[in-house]
Amino acid sequence: MDYTVKLDEALTRLHDEGRYRTFIDIERKQGQFPHATWTRPDGTETPITVWCGNDYLGMGQHPVVLNAMHDAVDATGAGSGGTRNISGTTVYHKQLEAELADLHGKEAALLFTSAYIANDATLSTLPKLFPGLIIYSDALNHASMIEGVRRNGGDKRIFRHNDVAHLRELLESDDPNAPKLIAFESVYSMDGDFGPIEKICDLAEEFGALTYIDEVHAVGMYGPRGGGVTERDNLAHRIDIINGTLAKAYGVMGGYIAASAKMCDAVRSYAPGFIFTTSLPPSVAAGAAASVAHLKTDQDLRDQHQMQAKILKMRLKGLGLPIIDHGTHIVPVIVGNPVHTKKLSDMLLENHGIYVQPINFPTVPRGTERLRFTPSPVHGPGEIDALVHAMDELWSHCALNRAELAG
């Protein structure tokens, strides 16, 4: 077999479908976010505004976070030096887990190198802890949740997105004595809609199922202390396992689960994705702990974030652009064609200094390709004006339809 030819064929398919992804070489400017410098392929540098970052609150440049990281580097050096079981557990890791457990009102928390690994490792391990476990998974769950459910060797059921009636049908059709777990999200990042948390908790109690919620697009941003939608709606106590990230609103890196002490202890003891992975650098853990602690008290930053999202959605709606608005901070603008989506993204970057990545299949269904904007408290009126004017001009230039709201 000519392996190179096969590689060429695979990459050509992506190019032909308009789904080939390229890295954009940017350097964020500390203290000036969302502004950054883009190094073009020819080596020239261009100032840009980042509109697709997940550092939702700008905490990646907050002095509280940076000072904590500097202090930890000065005190301990760079890496952790090992897995959590073998020399890689430090006071910084324990402090962070304590902050996270407190954030969600749980007995314990368990830190992973990313929320992807936290989802994958936990969901693939649970059938070892509960033999015969059936996992009921929302159709639009994160790829990391899908992967964990897929390879855990247990039974799985996929229920239609946010369709509680379908979930009930699936629960009713299974053995009432079988262990069960319902896995879903609080904020779905592609459409920006909320999961029906309370209704799912009601079903879980009725059928004796555990609940597992992914709050990665909500922690830090919702709830009086940033505990996510479950905290905002006073439902965290009804969730057995909460998954979150430290790489979005908290501005650093890492993921975690928060649950009972026994649940965290069991996952810690059985999950290969935890056992065999070098732990986060102490400086990253220190910065994340500082960020979590700070956002427990900074409601103003959360309020600013929501206001910026409302302003951007209102102005894009005023242009007749087909945006999806479910009341969250995520602002998707539907283009509906992968080639057009990539072209719009390229023109925004090259001609207007606005960076937003195209979102294409398989991340979203074919025909719903989109640009997904993530406004933050540090996107001011000037940045919003520039984005709105550029979108208005390019939408007309590309002869795209102006539509009613898509959601």
The residues carrying an active-site annotation are 248
User: Judging by DSSP bridges, how do beta strands 331-334 and 370-373 pair with one another?
Assistant: antiparallel
Beta bridge partners of 37: 27, 47
CA distance 156 to 127: 11
Beta bridge partners of 333: 323, 371
Which stretches of 88-208 are assigned E, i.e. beta strand?
Answer: 108-112, 134-138, 155-159, 180-185, 187-188, 193-194
Burial class (CB in 10 A: 0-12, 13-18, 19+), 361: middle
Closest alpha carbon to 379 in 5, 34, 17, 119: 34
CA distance 33 to 31: 6
Which stretches of 228-368 are assigned E, i.e. beta strand?
Answer: 241-245, 255-259, 331-334, 354-355, 358-359
Q: Which residue is listed with tokens 């539907």? A: 334
Which helix (H) or strand (E) segment is 39 a member of? Answer: strand 35-39
CA distance 138 to 158: 6
